[in-house]
A and B are shown apart, each in its own frame.
Chain A
Amino acid sequence: MTPSEIIEVLREHDAEAVVSAVADGPYPHVVLKAEEIVTAAGFLKSEPRLRFDLLRCISAIDWPAKNSIELAYDLISTSLAHAFAIKVVLDRANPQVESVGGIWPAAQWHEREAFDLMGVTFLYHPDLRRILMPEDWTGHPLRKDYQDVVEYKGLKFNP
């Protein structure tokens, strides 16, 4: 299915959840309301015309200028061979969204990484803790306003 057809199917299912959609260009995607992400994810996986069973990646993008953090979920269907992406926009001061780990278990580690490096909280995640940085690290390194530490456990950052 082409991206515009996929957007049509999504709008048919729940037109209110779709905030905006981009069908052309290098990155066709829809922007959904953050509260609707789990129901939309369930629909995307189970709907026979779509069948997005492989969650490829969850990317967190920091936009301090727009005061928001975007999450992009990249999906592909191994049976129908079409790819698509959905996005949610979160408030930068308190980014939280529900975890889609119940629908795509692959999301669990991606969400832990987004929490670790960007500070997004995923509600109902079974094990939300830092995955790449040490457990006692402070700060979220991939944010645009992150300041490097001076010292960590006796090791100087800039000797």
Chain B
Amino acid sequence: MKEIELQSQPDLLHDGEVPSDVRTEELVLNMGPQHPSTHGVLRVILQTDGELVLKATPYIGYLHRSAEKIAEKVTYRQFTPYTDRLDYLAAMNNNLGFALAVEKLGGIEVPPRADYLRVIFAELNRIASHLMATGSYGLDMGAFTPLIYCFREREWIMDLFEAACGARLTYSYITIGGVREDLPEGWIQKCREFLDYFEPKIAEYNNLLSYNHIFINRTGNVGICPAELAVAYGLTGPCLRGSGLAWDLRKATPYCRYNEFEFDISVGRGQNGTLGDCWDRYFVRILEMVQSVRIVRQALDKLTDGPVQAKVPRIVKLPAGEVYYEVENPRGQLGFHLVSDGGTSPYRLKIRGPSFCNLSVLPVLAPNCLLADISALLGSIDIVMGEVDR
């Protein structure tokens, strides 16, 4: 058999030696508001030199629903459903942040049973949110199966939420003074069944997606964000922890009895690439799901009897003053800067959306990526346009 010698192709990308008679042009591409992998209505204008991205400029505001102006016009209790729709994948956590901000300014004390219920629902919602992030990240990379598997688990969690508060996506369950109503009969048993069912599934996702060679090749060593850069750009949540910094508000400034629970802070370690790359940010979410299961189990054991709501008047009136309260959402730190002038609605409510700050690092990480890496980058930052645009 004759041995055929393969001629190696010139590596134009890395050699940079383009023959002088070849005319090249930069392309300006529009990754428009409607795009399957921009996780919502985000527009990115890419200046590319062939496959190499030179500059990426995000344009936001396509979902700006003026939540902050609405807050000045409606009462405190009426604003809780609007907080659901900020980061609609983690609605319980948003409700929690707003309720805690109002309670801090108003000096409202929440009964212990409500605190533990809040932790249970917030952590279950964290699992649901990370499942969505994992599934859609796989979809962006071209893997359809993880999405279906993750949604199968999400449906379980949504069933639990629906049994407790009647809604599948936007709950308004955690309200000012506690939670809206107590658990139905048999809910705790169903929740424990779910946790027992879910724990081995994480090994399934690791086998399917996390340690998949194609996935590692597409996300390892892509979009490397060192810890100092992450802090400088205000990144929080898995984006910051993926760069190696062990900063979690639930441990640093605990709220809602989180100091009573034992759990670890999941950090990226750079095991499949460089520390701070897309794979690290993605894997932190997988590890956080394991920790959330731990927290929910402990909270179910610690659940005490008692009322689930403090005695708060129907029309909540807060004293004049202001407060800035942050909670650890699945996507980062959600902050509410609440200014009150003594009336029944806020005077000014500024919402610090974690995805808004996380997205600001895209123009810094995108240059020198390949075009296909932009999807990997956006998926690993994991934005939800509801809280970018508010």
Contacts and interface: CB of A to CB of B under 8 A. Distances in A.
Judge A-B direct contact (beta carbons within 8 Å): yes
Interface of A: 25-27, 53-57, 59-62, 72, 74, 78, 81, 83, 85, 104-106, 108-110, 113, 117, 130-134, 141-142
Q: Which of B64, B335, B350, B360 has the most CB of A within 10 A?
A: B350
A53 B232 CA distance: 7
B269 to A, nearest CB: 18
B339 interface: yes
Contacts of A109: 356-357, 359-360
Interface residues of B, number: 35
B323 A26 contact: yes
24 contacts: A26-B322, A54-B234, A56-B324, A56-B333, A57-B324, A57-B350, A60-B350, A61-B339, A61-B347, A61-B350, A72-B337, A74-B335, A78-B231, A106-B233, A106-B234, A106-B357, A106-B360, A109-B359, A110-B357, A113-B356, A117-B68, A130-B61, A141-B66, A142-B68
B312 to A, nearest CB: 17
Interface of B: 60-61, 64, 66, 68-69, 104-105, 231-234, 236, 245, 247, 252-253, 321-324, 326, 333, 335, 337, 339, 347-348, 350, 352, 356-357, 359-360, 389
Contacts of A133: 61, 64
Q: Top 6 A-B pairs ranked by shortest CB distance?
A: A106-B234, A59-B350, A132-B61, A57-B352, A26-B323, A59-B337
A72 B69 CA distance: 18
Contacts of B231: 53-54, 78
Contact of A83 (B60, B247, B253, B347): B253
Contacts of B236: 54
B232 A27 contact: no
A117 B350 CA distance: 11
A74 B69 CA distance: 21
A113 B389 CA distance: 10
A65 to B, nearest CB: 9
B7 to A, nearest CB: 47
Contacts of A81: 252-253
A26 B323 CA distance: 6
Given A27-B323, A59-B350, A104 B253 contact: no
Given A117-B68, A131-B61, A141-B66, 18 more contacts: A25-B321, A26-B323, A53-B232, A54-B234, A56-B352, A59-B350, A62-B348, A72-B324, A74-B352, A105-B232, A106-B232, A106-B233, A106-B234, A106-B360, A109-B360, A132-B60, A132-B64, A134-B61
Interface of B is mostly: mixed
A96 B234 CA distance: 23
A14 to B, nearest CB: 24
Contact of B322 (A27, A110, A131, A134): A27
Given A26-B104, A106-B233, A142 B60 contact: no
Nearest to B66: A141
A83 B337 CA distance: 14
A86 to B, nearest CB: 12
A55 B234 contact: yes
Contacts of A56: 234, 324, 326, 333, 335, 352
A52 B359 CA distance: 21
Nearest to A114: B350
A27 B123 CA distance: 28
Given A27-B321, A59-B337, A105 B64 contact: no
Nearest to B227: A78
B385 to A, nearest CB: 11
A68 to B, nearest CB: 13
B351 to A, nearest CB: 9
B337 A74 contact: yes
Contacts of A105: 232-233, 360
Contacts of A57: 324, 335, 337, 350, 352
A142 B64 contact: no
B322 A104 contact: no
